[in-house]
Chains A and B, each alone.
Chain A
Amino acid sequence: MRTSLQFLLTLVWLALTSNSLAKSLPDTDDLHQHPAWLTLIHYQPDRLGSGYTSQADDDRFFLSDSGVTSPKAELDATLKAILQPGDGDDHARCIFPARDRWLRQKLDLPRDPADCPAYEEWAAELNTDTVTLVFAASYLNSPSSMFGHTFLRLDPPRNDEETSLVLANTISYAADAAAHDSEIMFAYKGIFGGYPGITSIQPYYEKIRLYSDIEHRDLWEYQLNLTQPEVDMMLAHTWEIQDRNFDYYFFDENCAYRLLALIDIARPGTDLLGEVSTHAIPSDTVRWVVDKGLVEDVFYRPSAATSISHSIDSLPDDHQTLASAIASGYVAPDAAEVQALSDEKQARVLDTTYDYIRYQSEADGWPREYAAPLSHALLRERSQIKGVAAQQGPPEPEIRDDQGHDTFRVSLSGGQLGDLNFSELTIRPAYHDVLDPPAGYRGGAQLQFLRLDARFYTDENEFQIEQLTGVEIRSLSPRNQFFSPTSWQVGFGGRRTDTETDRVFTPYLEGGAGGSWQLANGTQAFAIATADLEIDDDLRRGYDAAPGADLGILHQNNRFSLLGGVKTKAWIVSSQHRQDQAYLDANLHFGRDFGLFARFTREDHFERYRSKWQLGLHAYF
């Protein structure tokens, strides 16, 4: 009897609640078109048609079967699910806390807190007071790292002595690449899709280890000015997408893109994703975040490589030699000549030598049998010197990476090739060449993508594609007593090549390796052995190859950049001849938005001399 009464009561209650639900459910109007909702479910307008498709590639992210393409169906399903009575970890309110929060706010629904033990424990452990956007800058001898990398750091309250930011957690979005995939597979899948992208949480010290110690990249920390409710919203959404798959694409839907979405969700109306067109370069995304007024403060964390270069440069010459001798094993860490130094000088030499050996072990793979005992001996000696603090780290660069010139460049120029006049338009979507304003970029590093040089020969009214650069990477890093990096370059695309009778457009592949030596601050001389391959049916055997050399001098400063030298190529397959060239390039920088450039080459090819000069203007967007 009692049971059936309970049953009856339950039925009545269910009827009542579902009735009241039915009343509060409707009237979502076009809420499903609200930008914040579209962002929460990661909808993007379809390229064709007027619909939307979510970028989430994971069924568990949707409550409606048609949720992937229907914002309305997903909103209705979500609303229904979060209004179900009860709570607990499996309840929709606990699985989708950000949607729950937003819908309740928009529809003025009761905001009684749900009991979600797992989510609450997670949020309490993250203990987030502020959020910092961390940008891993590019490293000198790794132009491909020029794109940079970004992730978010969740900072605990900083008002007590028990805060250590290296223990803070970070949110990052990364390709989950299978370890056995080859480089080529890696590049292919990265560009055309195929890698799942996963949002993950890791302690900051693991990130420091990876970027600062192993990859030698400086970290810039942009503390965001998000309020506590905004931070909570970001965490709630992180919970929703954690371990959910969003396919990863290097160029647009990459690490930076997903983080922009998180910021957009935290502060609706920011619309950082609206800035993304064809590609989201992390350093550009940092600019957008700065431009939208989201940054409270900026901190700099130099990498192991930057710190060690600074320590070495700070030592007087004879102490540099001493440090080098200790590192090479010629002088023991406790040798008389070390101990003869004052405490402070001795500490500097020991610290620098230790950091240098650690760096070389990491970067150059010095064998452990050699590096480990020596490192240990250095530290033991150092621990005997009391009261001498470690040296101040390197100063923060005056120009941050996000303050360098913009990466999209358009150039207009006029010139003469032999006795033909031409005007030229160059469009370079990304990123930087050694003649661009160097501030905010690594010296000697160059990375260009999809650059188009189009010429109009005015006398003949003829339009010609001069060159289409697919990718061009160049890295000139000086060698010295301590470091011996290889300078290298690689590129492919299509370009005009001289067949003696004609200039034909041919696909090419080029590469080179060599060395570079610093002559003065900002000036280096380089010697590169090069190789060129051209493929075209206008060439006698269908292709031609040329070993060669490139010797030159590069000078970079904030007012102008100069590059000059000589190149020689010996074409050996289709036609056996030499191509010798002297070149001089100069760019005059007007701030970071404009530049005036001049280019001169004189070439000896097929037994004839020909000059080319060009004068024009660069604009950076």
Chain B
Amino acid sequence: MKKLIAGAMLMGASTLAFAQPGCGVGSMVWKGQSGIAPHVLAATTNGTSGNQTFGMTTGTLGCETSQSVQSMAIYMDSNVDKVARDMSRGAGENLDTLAVLLGVDEADRDSFRKVLQDNFATIFPSSETTSGEAVDAIVALLESDQSLSKYVAA
């Protein structure tokens, strides 16, 4: 099941309109603008959603990282501001999705949420933090946590 979700994630990512630099992925956090202008026929056309311009930076993840961590990285890439928001509040759908992608058991979810909220400033030290850097920080934090390290083992 875990593998299936990760597989679906990767498949989903392959439909996105950007090439992934190596195994590492990351986009600028807090991207200011979307460039979607309101236009008269916006409704029924629903042309594409791949037209947001992502500011890509190469993350630092290596190819040896586990599939679940890579899935998390891909998810973070598209949703980093929402993940950061949920993280600062210590709860939310996007934080739960990270837990699902990493396969965190129900019993460990509370400590997972707490570790991420407590270390918000470590994960996102500035507004220039990229999603790739945030993923690295999350992995490092979880690795150093006794009960959570098993979820990021390569």
List chain A residues, Cβ under 8 A from B9: 167, 203
Q: Counting CB contacts under 8 A, is A80 at the interface?
A: no
Nearest CB in chain A: distance from B111 CB, A:
13
Chain B residue at minimal CB-CB distance from A362: B34
List chain A residues, Cβ under 8 A from B118: 383, 386
Cα–Cα distance between A167 and B72 once the two chains are bound (Å)? 11
List chain A residues, Cβ under 8 A from B105: 161
List chain A residues, Cβ under 8 A from B121: 380, 383
Chain A residue at minimal CB-CB distance from B90: A386
Q: Are B45 and A250 in contact (CB under 8 A)?
A: yes
Q: Counting CB contacts under 8 A, is B124 at the interface?
A: yes
In the complex, which residues 40-55 of chain B have their Cβ closer than 8 Å to any Cβ of chain A?
40-49, 51-52
Cα–Cα distance between A553 and B30 once the two chains are bound (Å)? 40
In the complex, which residues 3-42 of chain B have their Cβ closer than 8 Å to any Cβ of chain A?
4-5, 7-9, 11-13, 15-16, 29-34, 36, 38-42
List chain B residues, Cβ under 8 A from A105: none
Cα–Cα distance between A166 and B7 once the two chains are bound (Å)? 15
Q: Counting CB contacts under 8 A, is A269 at the interface?
A: no
Cα–Cα distance between A156 and B8 once the two chains are bound (Å)? 11
Q: Are B32 and A368 in contact (CB under 8 A)?
A: yes
Q: Are B51 and A179 in contact (CB under 8 A)?
A: yes
Q: Counting CB contacts under 8 A, is B78 at the interface?
A: yes
Q: Counting CB contacts under 8 A, is B149 at the interface?
A: no
Cα–Cα distance between A186 and B34 once the two chains are bound (Å)? 21
Q: Are B32 and A145 in contact (CB under 8 A)?
A: no
Q: Are A200 and B89 in contact (CB under 8 A)?
A: no
Q: Counting CB contacts under 8 A, is A43 at the interface?
A: no
Within the complex, which residue of A124, A206, A351 is in contact with B49, where a contact is CB–CB below 8 Å?
Answer: A206
Within the complex, which residue of B34, B42, B81, B97 is in contact with A164, where a contact is CB–CB below 8 Å?
Answer: B97
- Size of the A side of the interface (Cβ < 8 Å), in residues, is 77
Q: Counting CB contacts under 8 A, is B75 at the interface?
A: yes
Q: Are A209 and B78 in contact (CB under 8 A)?
A: yes
Q: Are A255 and B46 in contact (CB under 8 A)?
A: yes
Q: Are B124 and A149 in contact (CB under 8 A)?
A: no
Nearest CB in chain A: distance from B9 CB, A:
6
Nearest CB in chain B: distance from A607 CB, A:
39
Q: Are A367 and B40 in contact (CB under 8 A)?
A: no
List chain A residues, Cβ under 8 A from B117: 383, 386
Nearest CB in chain B: distance from A609 CB, A:
38
Chain A residue at minimal CB-CB distance from B48: A174
User: Which residues of B are at the interface with A, using a C-beta cutoff of 8 A?
Assistant: 1-2, 4-5, 7-9, 11-13, 15-16, 29-34, 36, 38-49, 51-52, 75, 78-79, 81-82, 84-85, 87-94, 96-97, 100-101, 103, 105-106, 114, 117-118, 120-121, 124, 126-128
